[in-house]
Amino acid sequence: MSQDDLKDILQDSRESNISKDVTGMLLYIEGRFFQVLEGEKEAIDELYEHISRDERHRDVNIITRGYTKRRIFKDWSMRYSSISSKEFTRLSGIKRFSDLLRIKKPQLEQQVVMFMNKFSDKTFPSPSWWS
């Protein structure tokens, strides 16, 4: 995906997510997106439908979903960051990025939730064009 496509997605998401009280995080690693969507169930179901039909990407999967009173990304309409697979292995403790695709649920759910939580602080800056 080009940087222009990405900018379009994030810019559209900002306005639309604010209007639906949706918050979250989009993380790009080696050609793959990981996204956390937080909000009321109806808003999230509807948004997920839209995103999964978007032709700018493919192979969309839900890793986990659930209910919580606390949002991780409450201050972001859609936080964005991109990391290398090397950084991924350092942060997650998983040896290779490709191993993530082989881990079975529920271990996969736990690993990914723990991993995405690490982006809730400002340790990983968004690019200058997205703040």
Ligand X SMILES: Cc1cc2nc3c(=O)[nH]c(=O)nc-3n(C[C@H](O)[C@H](O)[C@H](O)COP(=O)(O)O)c2cc1C
Interface residues toward ligand X, by CB under 6 A: 9, 12-13, 16-17, 26, 33, 35, 47, 50-51, 54, 56-57, 78
**Cβ atoms of 10 and 78 closer than 8 Å:** yes
Compute the least distance from the CB of residue 93 to ligand X, in Å: 25
Compute the least distance from the CB of residue 66 to ligand X, in Å: 18
Strands 32-38 and 23-29: antiparallel
Exposed, middle or buried, 59 (CB in 10 Å: 0-12/13-18/19+)? exposed
In this complex, which beta carbon is closest to ligand X, that of residue 9 or of residue 116? 9
In this complex, which beta carbon is closest to ligand X, that of residue 73 or of residue 88? 73
Dist. CA 16–CA 47, nearest whole Å: 10
Compute the least distance from the CB of residue 131 to ligand X, in Å: 17
In this complex, which beta carbon is closest to ligand X, that of residue 17 or of residue 92? 17
- Element (DSSP H or E) covering residue 37: strand 32-38
In this complex, which beta carbon is closest to ligand X, that of residue 12 or of residue 30? 12
